[in-house]
Amino acid sequence: MRQAAEDSRSPERRSLDEHIAAEPHRAPLDIPPGVQPEPVDAHLSRTARRPLAVAGVVENGLVRPLDATIKLPEHSRVIIVASEGG
């Protein structure tokens, strides 16, 4: 069993996280009857850009690629993959 890590968030960030968690849930989407769900791949294939997966870290809500030579266009779709541990 994993042990809980020490909470290293700033008081401002902790307050913001608690505020976000206390917000009411959004209402379910108003989907017309008879509409069949589709895979995410089908939805993403309709857009001009495809999502991009890069190795990186997330710091204070910002994604920073580990490879400094990678330049992401504005409004890029990025897949963030996190590993356990560390």
Predicted confidence at residue 67, as pLDDT, reads 81
Please state, in angstroms and rounded to a whole number, the distance separating the CA atoms of residues 59 and 29: 31
Distance CA 60, CA 15 (A): 14
Q: Is the pLDDT of residue 77 over 70?
A: yes
Give the residue extent of every domain in the chain: 11-79
Mean pLDDT lowest among 15-19, 44-48, 80-84:
80-84
pLDDT at 84: 56
27-76 pLDDT tens trace: 877 888 888 878 877 776 776 666 677 777 777 877 778 888 878 777 77
Q: What pLDDT is attached to residue 50?
A: 65
